[in-house]
């Protein structure tokens, strides 16, 4: 595995000031920097992108095919509504790990459903910004186990 895309959806540009009691005090730039540092330690190229627009996120997922070996996706509220994002992940076949800062299963029932989770390798939630680093490690492990078998 050589490269990974860290893709963040709506309202995640507001990290740091947005409900810090739920999402923590780190800004998105800080989260992205720690992803870059973590990835670089493993020899990975890390690209980061955030959009508040579903279509932009779809375009990024489409463009990831053949360009990135994995996607770390926090689709924000689109997680719970977007069949289009789910279909995009199925379509491009780029291994994707779903991340949420908060534990969506301990929150309102409408957050318990994830369309992303159907298409993703797995889901990491509830560990704050550390979850993004866990997701990078999960992708590394996924690729390493495929190379061995």
Under rule CB under 6 A, residue 42 binds ligand DQA:
no
List the structure tokens of 141: 């492990």
Q: Which of 25, 7, 8 is nearest to 16 (CA)?
A: 25
Which residues, 3 to 22, sit near ligand DQA by CB under 6 A? 11
Taking the least distance from each CB to ligand DQA, the nearer of 18 and 143 is 18
Under rule CB under 6 A, residue 119 binds ligand DQA:
no
Query: Minimum Å distance from CB 130 to ligand DQA?
Result: 12
Which residues, 67 to 106, sit near ligand DQA by CB under 6 A? 74, 76-77, 79, 100-102, 104
* Alpha-carbon distances, residue 37 vs 34, 47, 56, 86, 105 (angstroms): 5, 11, 26, 28, 29
Q: Please confirm, yes or no, whether 68 is among the known catalytic residues.
A: no
* Alpha-carbon distances, residue 95 vs 3, 61, 85, 89, 116 (angstroms): 12, 11, 14, 8, 12
Q: Please confirm, yes or no, whether 100 is among the known catalytic residues.
A: yes
Taking the least distance from each CB to ligand DQA, the nearer of 1 and 102 is 102
Taking the least distance from each CB to ligand DQA, the nearer of 1 and 78 is 78
So which residues are the catalytic ones?
23, 100
Q: Which residues bind ligand DQA (CB under 6 A)?
A: 11, 74, 76-77, 79, 100-102, 104, 111
């Amino acid at each position: 595995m050589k490269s990974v895309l860290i893709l963040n959806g709506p309202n995640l540009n507001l990290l740091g000031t947005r409900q810090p009691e739920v999402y923590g005090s780190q800004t998105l730039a800080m989260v992205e920097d720690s992803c870059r540092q973590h990835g670089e330690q493993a020899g990975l190229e890390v690209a980061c992108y955030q959009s508040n627009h579903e279509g932009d996120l779809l375009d990024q997922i489409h463009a990831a095919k053949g360009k990135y070996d994995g996607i770390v996706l926090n689709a924000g509220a689109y997680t719970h509504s977007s069949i289009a994002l789910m279909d995009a992940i199925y379509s491009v076949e780029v291994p994707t790990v779903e991340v949420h800062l908060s534990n969506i299963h301990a929150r309102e029932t409408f957050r318990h459903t994830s369309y992303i989770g159907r298409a993703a390798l797995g889901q990491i939630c509830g560990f704050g910004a550390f979850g993004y680093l866990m997701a990078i490690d999960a992708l590394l492990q996924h690729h390493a186990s495929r190379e061995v078998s």
